Structure 1
Amino acid sequence: MYPIDFFWRAADRWPANIAIDAPAGPIRYDALAVRVSALAAALLARDPAPQSRVGICAGNSSDHIAALLAVLACGKVWVPLNPKSTRPEIRRIVDATEPSILIADAGGAALLDGAPGQRLRCGDEGGSAPGIATLAELAGRHAGAPRPGFDLQPDATQAIKFTGGTTGAPKGVMQPYRAWMANIANQIHAWGFDQNERYIVAAPITHGTSTYLLPVLAQGGCHVLLDGAGAEAVRTAFRERGGTACFMPPTLVYMLMALPGASRADFPHLRRLIYGGAPMPPEKIREVRDFFGPVLGTTYGQTEAPQILTVMRPDDFIDARNWTSVGVAGWFSDVAIMAPDGHLLPAGEVGEVVARGDLLMSGYWRLPGKTSETIVDGWLHTGDRGLLDERGYLHLKDRLKDMVITGGFNVYPVDVENALGQHPAVHECSVFGVPDEKWGEAVQAAVELRPGQQVSEAELVAFVRERLGPVQTPKRIHFHASLPRSPVGKVLKTAVRERALAGGAEPASHPDNKQ
C-alpha cells in the first residue's frame, strides 16, 4: 500500500462526498479521482521513468491539489517549490533535484524562468505560454485513463522537501513512503478526522498543509480553499463555509483574534485548531483557549520527521503543566533525550532531542556525509534541546545553536520568550545571543508590541528580571513595528539577530537599560 491508496479507497467509498470546496465550485471525490488518474497518465506520457522528480510551484488551488495527487499516483517524487520564494532559491532547488517536469501557475512560472524541464501550467489565470499545456487540457486528453500502478519499496522516496536552512545551507530531505504512511496514520489517530471534516487550507500546500492533505481525504473529508488571502479570508471560511479544523502558525491565530469584532461565534463548527512552525508561549495559550475554547492542539516534527513526532491534543491542554510541552510521542516513533557522549538521559534532564522509527527521512538528497552526521545508529539528531518529563511529555528549550551561554550560565531563549510574552503589551518576541566582551554572549530580545500599546525597554527588563532573575534578563531589547517573518509567518530569528547586530531595529522607547 502507498500513500495515494488512501485517496483511491476514499473515492471508492465516498464518491459523492465533496473532496475540495473551492471558490470556483465544489469537486466531488469521484470527479477528483477521474482527474487525478488522467493527470497521472499525462505525467507518465511525458516521462515514464519511475521516481523521476516533478516540481510544483503554485499557490493553493484545486489544480495544485490534483497535480500533487497525480505525482503521488504515478510513482514519481514530489518537489515542492515555494511560490513566495525568490528566483535564485527556486533555481537552486531545481538544479539540485533535476525535475523532468515543472508545474507552475502564473506566479510560479515567472520564478521558473530559464530553469530546465518540461513545463505544464497549473490553473488558467492569464492563460498559458505557447507550447505549454494546461492541466485542464491534459486531463481532457487523457480522460478515462485507468489508475496507474507501480511497485516501489517503503524506503523509496515520495517527496524531496528542502529545510529552511536554520542550521546552515538548506538541504533536500528525502521523505520515504513509510514516513508518509506513518504521518497519515498519526494525523487521523491524533485528530479524529472523519467524513464530516471541513479542513480550512490556510497554510501553503508547499509547507505544513501538505501533511494534512491525505489524512483528511483518507477519511472522506473536505479541503476548503480560501476565497482571498489573509486572516479575514480565513475567518470568512470558518464562519460561512463550516470549517471544522485548520493548521496554521501562531501568528495567524493571533491575527484572527485581533480582527475587528472577532468572537468565538465566527468559528461555529471549529473543533481542532492546530498550530505549528513556532512555539506558543503559555500566556498566549491561555489567551487562545479563552477565546476559542478547548480546541487547541499542536505537534512537533521536522522536515526530517514530518509534522508529528509528538502531539498535544486539546485534552492535553486541560492540564496547565503541559503548556510548555509539545506533547507525547506519536505512533511509529521513539523520542528520547541524548547527552553529547551519546547516552540517553533520564526524565527531567536537558539534552538533544533524538528520534527513531518509521517517520524518519531516508537521508539528504545527494549529501551522504550530512545524512551520516544527522542519523547516527538509527537516531535522528534534531538539533533541538529539550527534556522529557516523568509522564513522557516533551518540553523543548531551543535549537542547540540558539542556546546562549552568558557568563558561564546556559540561557534558553524560549524561557525568556515565555516570560516576555506574559507582558500585556507584548504581541510577539524573539530572544537571541550576541557576542559580548564581558559575558561571552549577552542575552538580547526583539519585541513586537500589540497595536496601540506602549512600554519602555526598562519596564520590560524589570518585568523579566522579576520572573527569571538577572542572568536570563535581556541586556538590551529592540522594538520592531513588525518582526521579520518567513512566507508562512514564522519569526526569522537569524534575521532578527542580524538586524540587531547591524543596528537596524527601531529604537527603544527609553534606551536606558543600565543592567
Structure 2
Amino acid sequence: MQIDHYVSQLLDVLSTRPDEIALRHGDEALTSAELAAAITGAAAALRDRGTGEGGVVALLTVGNSPATLIGRYAANLIGATVVHLRGINAADPLDELPIATQVEIVDDTGTTVLLTDAANLDRARKIRDAMAEPAALAAFGDFGDDVADITGTAGEVEPRAEGTAVLTYTSGTTGRPKGIGRGFGGLGAVVTKARHMTERCTMLVTTPLSHSVSSTVDDAVASGGMIVLHEGFDAGAVLEAVERHRVNRVYLATPQLYDLLDHPALGTTDHSSLRELYYGGSPASPVRLSRAAEVFGAKLIQIYGTTESWVIAALSPEEHLKPELLTTVGKAVPFVQVGIRDPHVRHELPAGKTGEICVRSPMMMDGYWKRPDLTSRVLIDGWLHTGDVGYLDENGYLYLVDRLADMIKTNGIKVYPAEVENALLAHPDVAQAAVFGVADEDNVEYMHAIAVPRRGRDVDPADLAAQVARVLSPSHVPAEIRLRAELPLTDAGKPDKLRLREEAKPATKSSHAKPESELTS
C-alpha cells in the first residue's frame, strides 16, 4: 500500500482546524494555520537554499521547543534527513552532548545545514567552525549575516520521501554514540493509522522530541489535537498542566510515573481528563503499577520497545486492572512480530522458554549509520535482536526478564537484576531500586543493590534483605544494600548501573558484606 508523506498528511489535518490551538510552549501558542505556515515556510526556505533529498539538517535547538518540531517536519517535507544533535538522553531534554561529540556527529553524517536558535547560537557557531566541511547555519529569526533566516510564509512545497528520514543517536558500549536511521515509511504508517482516531488528543510532552515520544506526538497531531511542550519533567508541573489544559495523553519514563504517584499534589489535582497515561523505558514494579491503577483507573498504557525498534509491545489500560498481567509488558502491537530465540544458536524457542527477544517491524531502524559491523550483529535475516531477555506465554503475553548483559552469576546461581528489583519494590517503603553486579579484586562477582526510600519513610537495609529472601530466596539477597536519596539515570532514563558499579568498586571486598544502612545523596 502506498503511504502518503507523513508531513503532508499532518498538514492536511492542520488545514481542517485552522483557527484552533495546535501547539503550546510556555506562553507561546500556535494555531493550526500558524503551525502549518511555519512548516511549509521553513521547508520552502531550506529548499531555496539548496537543501532537499540527499541533504542533512542537524537540529541544535532547545530540546522540547516549537523549533525542534517544526524543524523536523520542514526538513523531512523536502526529503532531507534530520539529525537530532543536542543529546542522546531519551528521558531528559535538558541533557546535552559535549561539543566535541556533536562535531563528530555532524562530520559523520555530512550535515549540510545546522538549524539552531538564540539559546544555542554560540555553540552552533563553534561546531560549524570545527567541522571538516562547515555547514550553513539557519534559524527561525534574524541572528546575523552568517545565519539564514528560514522564517517564511506558507507556500507550495513538493513532498519528498526517499532514504533516511531521521537519525537519532544513542549511547554505545564504547562511549561513542551510534546513529539509528529510520525511514519515511514507518513515520507515514503511524500517521495514516492515527488519522482514523475518533477522539482528538491533547498531549503533554516532557521527554525529548528527539526520541521515541516523537511518533506519539505525530500521532497526536494527526488526531487534530494539541501538543503542550515542557522542557523537562517536574511532577508538580505535569499535574498542573493536566488540570489547566485538560490533557488527555501523557508519556513518562517509568521512574517519572513513580514520582507522579508520590507527589503530594496528586490527591488534590483534577486529572479526570487523562485517557492515556503512557509509560516505559525500563521494567515497572507490579506493586507500583497496582497502586497506579488504583489512582488512575483504566488509563495506564505500558510501552515496551527500544530506540532501535520503537514500540514492540503494549499493556492496555484494561489489562492493568488484572493483577496477574502486571508482571508482563503486554502483547505485540499491530504490525510487529515478536520471536524468542536462543542467543547462541538463534533457534526459535517455544512458549515459556526464556531467550533473546527478537522483532520484525516496519518501525524498526534501517541500521546504524555508517556502522555495517554493528548493524550486522543485530539485524539478522530481517529480525532485530534486541539484547533483551524474555519469554512469551501461551496467550502471547511477553515477559521481560532483563538485559543479556546484566545477568549476574552469584551464590552459585544466575540472577537477573529485574527480579530482585521487583522484590525490593514490593516493600511498601521503597520508591525505586537498582540491582547490579560488582566484581572484586579476585574477579568474583557480588550482587549490590541501591534502594530509594519513599518520601518521609525510614527503611532498614536488613528488612530489605529479609524481603528479598522471603519473596525469592536467600541466594538472591544482595551482598550489599545501600540507601540513596535518588538514583542516577542514564540517557535512556534508566538507573545508571555503570556509574553505580564504578562507585561501588572501591568498597568491594572478597567476603560477602552485610547490608548497610547509610543514606547517601
TM-score, normalised to structure 1, is 0.89
Please say if 1:327 is aligned against 2:330.
yes
| Equivalent in 137, 153, 157 of residue 147 of structure 1 | 157
* Contact 1:103 1:119 (8 Å CA) reproduced: yes
* Contact 2:7 2:77 (8 Å CA) reproduced: yes
* Contact 1:6 1:217 (8 Å CA) reproduced: no
Structure 1 residue 239, shift from structure 2 partner: 0.9
Count of residue correspondences: 494
| Equivalent in 403, 420, 439 of residue 435 of structure 1 | 439
Deviates more, 1:416-425 or 1:217-226: 217-226
Structure 1 residue 185, shift from structure 2 partner: 5.6
* Contact 1:23 1:227 (8 Å CA) reproduced: no
Please say if 1:401 is aligned against 2:405.
yes
Partner of 1:268: helix, strand, or coil? coil
Please say if 1:215 is aligned against 2:215.
no
Change (3 A) 1:238 1:510: closer
Deviates more, 1:206-215 or 1:350-359: 206-215
Distance in 2, matches of 1:503 and 1:70, equals: 53
* Contact 2:182 2:365 (8 Å CA) reproduced: yes
Q: Which one-letter code corresponds to 1:372 in the other structure?
A: S
Deviates more, 1:162-171 or 1:330-339: 162-171
Deviation sequence 1:40-98 (CA, Å, 0-9, x none): 01111223341321111222122322112111211111111225223233333223223
Change (3 A) 1:274 1:158: same
Distance in 1, matches of 2:403 and 2:10, equals: 36
Identical positions, percent: 31
Change (3 A) 1:289 1:110: farther
Structure 1 residue 176, shift from structure 2 partner: 1.2
Please say if 1:34 is aligned against 2:37.
yes
Counterparts of 1:243-258 in structure 2, within 5 Å, are 243-258=247-262
Q: Which residue number corresponds to residue 503 of structure 2?
A: 499
Change (3 A) 1:437 1:179: same
Please say if 1:6 is aligned against 2:9.
yes
| Equivalent in 289, 296, 300 of residue 292 of structure 1 | 296
Partner of 1:471: helix, strand, or coil? helix
Q: Which residue number corresponds to residue 131 of structure 1?
A: 146
* Contact 1:407 1:439 (8 Å CA) reproduced: no
Counterparts of 1:123-272 in structure 2, within 5 Å, are 128=143, 131-134=146-149, 138-140=150-152, 143-150=153-160, 152=162, 156-165=163-172, 169-184=176-191, 188=194, 194-226=198-230, 230-263=234-267, 265-272=269-276
* Contact 2:309 2:361 (8 Å CA) reproduced: no
Distance in 1, matches of 2:124 and 2:489, equals: 23
* Contact 2:76 2:160 (8 Å CA) reproduced: no
Deviates more, 1:261-270 or 1:73-82: 261-270
* Contact 2:170 2:178 (8 Å CA) reproduced: yes
Q: Which residue number corresponds to residue 417 of structure 2?
A: 413
Change (3 A) 1:17 1:147: farther
Structure 1 residue 288, shift from structure 2 partner: 1.3
Q: Which one-letter code corresponds to 1:163 in the other structure?
A: T
| Equivalent in 120, 140, 163 of residue 138 of structure 2 | 120
Structure 1 residue 318, shift from structure 2 partner: 2.0
- Structure 2 unmatched ranges of 5 or more: 88-93, 129-134, 509-513
| Equivalent in 339, 348, 351 of residue 347 of structure 1 | 351
Structure 1 residue 359, shift from structure 2 partner: 1.9
Q: Which residue number corresponds to residue 96 of structure 1?
A: 108
Change (3 A) 1:193 1:231: farther
Change (3 A) 1:419 1:111: farther
Distance in 1, matches of 2:21 and 2:6, equals: 20
Change (3 A) 1:107 1:258: farther
Partner of 1:267: helix, strand, or coil? coil
Partner of 2:251: helix, strand, or coil? strand
Partner of 2:261: helix, strand, or coil? helix
* Contact 1:86 1:111 (8 Å CA) reproduced: no
* Contact 1:203 1:488 (8 Å CA) reproduced: no
* Contact 1:41 1:148 (8 Å CA) reproduced: no
Structure 1 residue 229, shift from structure 2 partner: 6.0
Structure 1 residue 372, shift from structure 2 partner: 1.0
* Contact 1:248 1:276 (8 Å CA) reproduced: yes
Structure 1 residue 13, shift from structure 2 partner: 3.1
* Contact 2:206 2:231 (8 Å CA) reproduced: no
Please say if 1:475 is aligned against 2:479.
yes
Q: Which one-letter code corresponds to 1:139 in the other structure?
A: T
Distance in 2, matches of 1:404 and 1:80, equals: 35
Q: Which residue number corresponds to residue 284 of structure 2?
A: 280
Please say if 1:423 is aligned against 2:434.
no
Backbone CA RMSD of aligned residues:
2.5
Change (3 A) 1:312 1:193: farther
TM-score, normalised to structure 2, is 0.88
Q: Which one-letter code corresponds to 1:170 in the other structure?
A: P
Structure 1 residue 220, shift from structure 2 partner: 0.7
Q: Which one-letter code corresponds to 1:108 in the other structure?
A: N
Distance in 1, matches of 2:136 and 2:421, equals: 47
- Structure 1 unmatched ranges of 5 or more: none
Deviation sequence 1:98-136 (CA, Å, 0-9, x none): 3111122344335445223222235x7xx83553245xx
Change (3 A) 1:111 1:487: farther
Structure 1 residue 437, shift from structure 2 partner: 7.6
Deviates more, 1:450-459 or 1:234-243: 450-459
Structure 1 residue 296, shift from structure 2 partner: 0.7
* Contact 2:8 2:159 (8 Å CA) reproduced: no
Distance in 2, matches of 1:228 and 1:479, equals: 26
Distance in 2, matches of 1:101 and 1:48, equals: 8
Partner of 2:326: helix, strand, or coil? helix
